[in-house]
Chain A
Amino acid sequence: MSYLLRRIVFYVFTAWAAITINFFLPRLMPGDPVQALIAKEQGQLSTDAVHSLYVLFGLDKQQPLWQQYVDYWGQLLHGDLGLSFTFFPTPVSEVISSSLPWTLILVGVTTVCSFMLGTGLGVLAGWRRGSWVDLVLPVTTFISSVPYFWFGLIMIELLAGPNSFFPSSGGYDPGVVPGWDIDFIGSAVQHSLLPALTILISSMSGWILSMRNMMVTVSSEDYITVAHAKGLSDRRVMLSYAARNALLPNVSGFALSLGLIVGGTLLVEIVFSFPGVGFQLFQAVGAKDYPLMQGIFLIITLSVLAANFIADLAYLVLDPRTRKEG
């Protein structure tokens, strides 16, 4: 248990550090977000309006830094991440929560599928070396060397088009009203097929390769020979002895990729103009929308930390050697 406690302390500390950096970074950056907004509105703002903006962004306060820091924490705990410039005056938290489900569902589902499929194929490829499964290897090696977005572009080029079943961009038909009905969900699924396929194919190959290599390494362990010598069925040796051990190093990789879900596969979302967090971050950067960027970074950092914590928990469950008690 003390192990778990130590990890929790570590994560709390890291989260605090991340949030603090998030607080200081924009204050250290040269330039002025309000100036950026004024430039965007092309001088149509009166001085009064400009002043009210400063107040709104909390930039006018002649308060000491520590007071600002305390206020910042207060706001955070209320879920208040400030107002977005691009979608002025919508709060950042609202902007993010409108795009988060898109990314979570698309990238979440594909990440989990790709891990499971890739691991399964990797187990087979590592176990049945010298059979047809070996054919998978050159193909996956090739695919894993192709960048995501490039793959997406090729998909659009080949599969999408004016008369194609696959739409080339967006999250749903402009004609449908978002809501929990067949029309909308059908349209959303149809739009996410291509990006999902892109992510699936290009991320799965990594899992296949690493799982295969671990299987090959584990296959030469003494306990595998013993399992064979015991006359256990090939299936049991493969799954319960080899794959079970080979999986361990991949668990942390999987947790990390869970953490990166929110950051999204930025480039894929850009290529497909998918209304997720990644695409939004891209727009925010383009519009110098500091509050939005800050909010997204914060969410990404926290989700990476959460994923790492999940990895620790998974290790605790999967590898008895990490359990210190007894």
Chain B
Amino acid sequence: MAEPLIEIKNLNVDYGLGDDAVHAVSDVTLTLHRGEVLGLAGESGSGKSTLAYGMTRLLPPPGVVAGGEVIYHDPERGPYDVLSLTNNELRDFRWAETSIVFQGAMNSLNPVHRIGSQLTDVIRAHDPRSSKEARLARARELLTLVGIPSDRLDSYPHQLSGGMRQRVMIGMALALEPKVVIMDEPTTALDVVMQRQILGELVQLRERLGFSVLFITHDLSLLVEFSDRIAIMYGGRIVEQAPAKEIYTDSYHPYSAGLLGSFPALRGPKRELTGIPGSPPHPGFREYQTLVMCRAGSEFSRKGAVPCRRLYSKVEPGGPAGHADRVRFPPAVPEILRAVRAGPPGARCARCSRRFGQRGGLLAAPRPLTRVSTLEEIRWKPLPRR
């Protein structure tokens, strides 16, 4: 494997402070290697954008990085933690080392300035001694690169189509030839042909210039085609990461399987499309892994969303050999739930709460209700007599 370029270590990002904080990104460890295209997929609200904002220190309030490190291996200066750069160092770091194409690429351009001035001001900020002609020439070159006629330099953003604006942003991201380009769903407004064309060009450029790409999208099929590795995010965590081909053929996490099952394969046998039942858990819930199980498989997602959500289970790190990042889930959750609900008459689950299986009232806070992870661990106690 190539040497690491950015190492995200145990990154935590919260929205808000204290008890009410939403843990949008929890304990994410992810490495982007030199020259690699790393795909990041996951359901809407799983924290992909938050991760991108967090690692570049661009979080909008009330977002805060609650912990972790983002080590950037600078080819010239050696490794340093992006999260502890001073403001001046950070300003130099931005765009020159890591550029971003934001999800809202349509609104990423300042409506009152021409495209040209927005392409050149970043060059001037990082290289004040460059000549005006050189900057303009570079801007023209960038536009041509993303398939926009270079006379559009004098246009205002509102005169461009949504897809053109996205392409301008992609061009802008390459202005300073950064080592890392983060792209947060950069091509949502483009038609499929244009999307593939741009991505194809991006991959070629990467081979020529040698930058790495962190590519965020919902579109796993796109990732399988264009990326080297894929990480799957769910409920604020990386639940699985593996080489792209492997995720496709042999995904481990039920969510990845669900995601893959929800789009048609380009080649290979036909299969029935499946969605993921239920809606995603709030990222603040510690119990989210269990919910994955519930949603991914069983009748519980229809009948028993409440007990599912209230079930607490431990996550064991480690999985099959060679997949250290993978996470193992207690496989028996649906069975446990079934057993506990059915329970012997006149008895209750010893390590479960009494309210188990009931809908919580207004005052009943969601709390862990059972601490068992296998069927064998369930102990029964006789119910007290009234």
- Residues of chain A whose beta carbon lies under 8 Å from any beta carbon of chain B: 220-223, 225-234, 236, 240-241, 244-245, 248, 318-321, 326
Contacts and interface: CB of A to CB of B under 8 A. Distances in A.
Interface stretch (B87-95, B187-195, B262-270, B329-337): B87-95
B191 to A, nearest CB: 22
25 contacts: A222-B107, A223-B108, A225-B60, A225-B102, A225-B108, A227-B110, A229-B95, A229-B99, A230-B121, A231-B90, A231-B95, A231-B125, A232-B125, A234-B87, A236-B121, A244-B112, A245-B111, A245-B112, A248-B112, A319-B111, A320-B112, A321-B111, A321-B156, A321-B158, A326-B159
A222 B94 contact: no
B94, B155, B172 interface centre (most CB from chain A within 10 Å): B94
A118 B290 CA distance: 55
A223 B112 CA distance: 11
B77 to A, nearest CB: 16
A230 B125 CA distance: 9
Contacts of B94: 228-231
Given A231-B92, A320-B158, A321-B156, A226 B108 contact: yes
Interface in B201-220: none
Contacts of A227: 110
A241 B125 CA distance: 14
Interface in B89-145: 90-96, 99-100, 102, 104, 107-113, 121-122, 125-126
Given A223-B110, A226-B108, A231-B92, 11 more contacts: A220-B60, A225-B60, A229-B95, A229-B100, A229-B102, A230-B95, A231-B95, A231-B122, A231-B126, A248-B112, A320-B112
Contacts of B100: 226, 229
Interface residues of B, number: 32
B92 A320 contact: no
Interface string B301-328: 0000000000000000000000000000
Given A225-B58, A225-B102, A321-B158, A233 B108 contact: no
B56 interface: yes
A223 B107 contact: yes
B213 to A, nearest CB: 16
B112 A319 contact: yes
A245 B157 CA distance: 14
Nearest to A247: B112
B76 to A, nearest CB: 17
A228, A233, A234, A326 interface centre (most CB from chain B within 10 Å): A228
B58 A241 contact: no
Contacts, number: 79
Contacts of A320: 111-112, 156, 158
A68 B13 CA distance: 77
A233 B91 contact: yes
Contacts of B95: 229-231
A321 B158 CA distance: 7
Main secondary structure of the interface of A (DSSP, over half): helix
A28 to B, nearest CB: 48
A245 B60 contact: no
B102 A222 contact: yes
A222 B108 contact: yes
Nearest to A321: B158
The 7 residue pairs across chains A and B that have the minimum distance between CB atoms: A231-B94, A222-B107, A320-B156, A222-B104, A230-B122, A231-B91, A223-B110
Contacts of A326: 155, 159
Contacts of A225: 58, 60, 102, 108
Contacts of B109: 223, 226
A220, A226, A319 interface centre (most CB from chain B within 10 Å): A226
Contacts of B169: 226
A102 B295 CA distance: 77
Interface in B11-67: 56, 58, 60
A240 to B, nearest CB: 7
A222 B104 CA distance: 7
Contacts of B113: 240, 244
A77 to B, nearest CB: 41
A320 B111 CA distance: 8
A245 B58 CA distance: 20
A228 B56 CA distance: 10
Nearest to A318: B112
Contacts of B159: 326
B165 to A, nearest CB: 11
A227 B107 CA distance: 12
A234 B94 CA distance: 13
Nearest to A129: B61
B111 A232 contact: no
B158 A229 contact: no
Contacts of B125: 230-233, 236
Contacts of B110: 223, 227, 240-241, 244-245
Nearest to A233: B125
A239 to B, nearest CB: 12
Contact of B58 (A223, A229, A236, A321): A229
A248 B94 CA distance: 29
Contacts of A318: 112
A203 B169 CA distance: 41
Contacts of A220: 60
Nearest to B113: A240
Nearest to A319: B112
Contacts of B156: 320-321
A229, A232, A233 interface centre (most CB from chain B within 10 Å): A229
A232 B94 CA distance: 9
Nearest to B122: A230
Nearest to B104: A222
Nearest to B159: A326
A237 B112 CA distance: 13
A225 B184 CA distance: 14
Contacts of A230: 94-95, 99, 121-122, 125, 172
